[in-house]
Structure 1
Amino acid sequence: MSIYKRVMGKDFYQLHPMLQKRYEIQRGISFKGTGMMESITGGPKWLYPLFWIGVKFRLLFPEHGENIPFKIVNTSETGRNGEEQIRWERTFYFGSKKRYFNALMSLDSERKIIKDYLGEPHLFYSDLSLHVTTEGALKISSNRQRLVLGRLEIPLPTLFQGLATVTEKYLEEKDVYLIHVKVRNPLIGTLFSYEGEFTADDIS
């Protein structure tokens, strides 16, 4: 049983069937998809030094634009302590440049949340909560966050957090997954966002 199915319980079955299939990622199963991001936006230019640090950690990037080719790969792995982990590799193609927004997720069964370590190597940590909308879409929200410095994890005050909201749905008319991701800071506003569509190349 996937970590997403375990954390959502019976609500998992309220998702659109194609979203259930997509998030039934467990040992021996992976998901690969390609598509196009209709729009990618970023924060103010004075934050570009932060975005360039993000490039090194495969997390954030300064580029933005429209109609950007996109690839996503979700792979199940086993962590050092034996726990199941899902690696998220999201690649954006700006001409000859590749930019990434990668993460490693696992389950905290006691608190009933998904643990999300962002970047490679990890730079930030977020608690994730998952909910189903009335139309069968999946909404993911980040909550408590920490800065990760090697083995040291420092809790971040709310004013320094980049809180993410992800909405993913399935559009039957086009046979595509629709994705909208927005990362916001309480003071600055939107730090990073993208939205578009992708199709499943492989679920195996």
Structure 2
Amino acid sequence: MTPSARSPYEASTRPGALDALHPRLRGYFGAIPAGHVGRGTGVFDVVGTPRRWMWPLLAWFARDAVMAPVWERDVPFTVENRPAVDREGRIAVLARRTFHFRSGPWVMQDAITADADGLADHLGRSGRLVAALDVAVADGALRLVSTRVSFRVLGRMLRLPAAVAPRVVLTERYDPGIDRQRVSLTLSAPLVGTLYRYEGSFVHGVVPDDADAPGGTGGPGRRP
């Protein structure tokens, strides 16, 4: 199936809701034209958590390309955003972020979809962990806050109780002082506080897809 003329962000919000975004962000959160892909490069000021007692759990998530057991600064990264349609026929954007840690590259993957209830982030290669997201625009920036978190077990989606569910907050804004896009994500939990975070800046552009060229990563399609 061919990706939609609308992005998941546009399809899951009221008409015109994203018009208040900074012009440099409208292209990032708008639909990627057929035959194109979004690519960016930048540096994360910080990635991970200094709480080493959490690293064994993060190592388990790292195998599914969700979170990495690290605490590093000044981490170069690349991002690729690819339009797609998932197995259920939902509009999607597949994101692949490559972090260049001191130990070597590591890839984080997720898929943003426009669900019946709004925007959702399917985390990792498996997509077993899903966060429903509330979308807000203020001062030209986009803010996403998780409203519920579910995970798939034996083919069924189970919602985590609010008392223990982690909370994801992601902010994307344009910084004219450095002519770059800034991103900040925090994952926190009740009683524990911040579990994981990353923040940094990058440049991004929509370019013709070179999927058929050497080193290409494949064209639009369905999530594996």
Is TM > 0.5 for Structure 1 vs Structure 2? yes
Residue in structure 1 matched with residue 196 of structure 2 by the alignment: 192
Correspondence list, 1:170-189, <5 A: 170-189=174-193
Could you tell me the TM-score, scaled by structure 1's length? 0.90
CA contact (8 A) 2:7 2:93 kept: no
Distance 1:202 1:2, change over 3 A: closer
- State the secondary structure of the residue aligned to 1:52: helix
- State the secondary structure of the residue aligned to 1:120: coil
- State the secondary structure of the residue aligned to 1:66: strand
Residue in structure 2 matched with residue 168 of structure 1 by the alignment: 172
Amino acid at match of 2:200: G
Is 2:126 the partner of 1:121?
Answer: yes
Work out which of the residue numbers 45, 56, 62 in structure 1 matches 2:63.
56
Aligned length: 201
Correspondence list, 1:94-133, <5 A: 94-108=101-115, 110-111=116-117, 113-133=118-138
- State the secondary structure of the residue aligned to 1:37: strand
Q: Which runs of 5+ in 2 are unaligned?
A: 1-5, 209-224
- Identity percentage of aligned residues: 24
What do residues 117-170 of structure 1 show as CA deviations (whole Å, max 9, x unaligned)? 11111231110111101x200101111111223522211112332211011111
Is 2:85 the partner of 1:81?
Answer: no
Q: Which runs of 5+ in 1 are unaligned?
A: none
- State the secondary structure of the residue aligned to 2:73: strand
Is 2:74 the partner of 1:67?
Answer: yes
Residue in structure 1 matched with residue 215 of structure 2 by the alignment: none
Work out which of the residue numbers 158, 161, 172 in structure 2 matches 1:154.
158
CA contact (8 A) 2:175 2:182 kept: yes
- Relative to its length, the structure with more helix (as a share) is 1
Q: CA RMSD in A?
A: 1.8
Distance 1:62 1:37 in 2: 15
**Aligned-pair CA distance for 1:201:** 4.6
Amino acid at match of 1:59: V
CA contact (8 A) 2:111 2:122 kept: yes
Residue in structure 2 matched with residue 33 of structure 1 by the alignment: 40
Distance 1:105 1:192 in 2: 20
Is 2:46 the partner of 1:42?
Answer: no
Distance 2:66 2:11 in 1: 27
Could you tell me the TM-score, scaled by structure 2's length? 0.83
Distance 1:102 1:160, change over 3 A: farther
Amino acid at match of 1:190: T
CA contact (8 A) 1:43 1:191 kept: no
Distance 2:192 2:56 in 1: 15
CA contact (8 A) 2:50 2:70 kept: no
- Per mean C-alpha deviation after superposition, the further-off stretch among 37-46 and 175-184 is 37-46
Amino acid at match of 1:69: P
Distance 1:150 1:170 in 2: 41
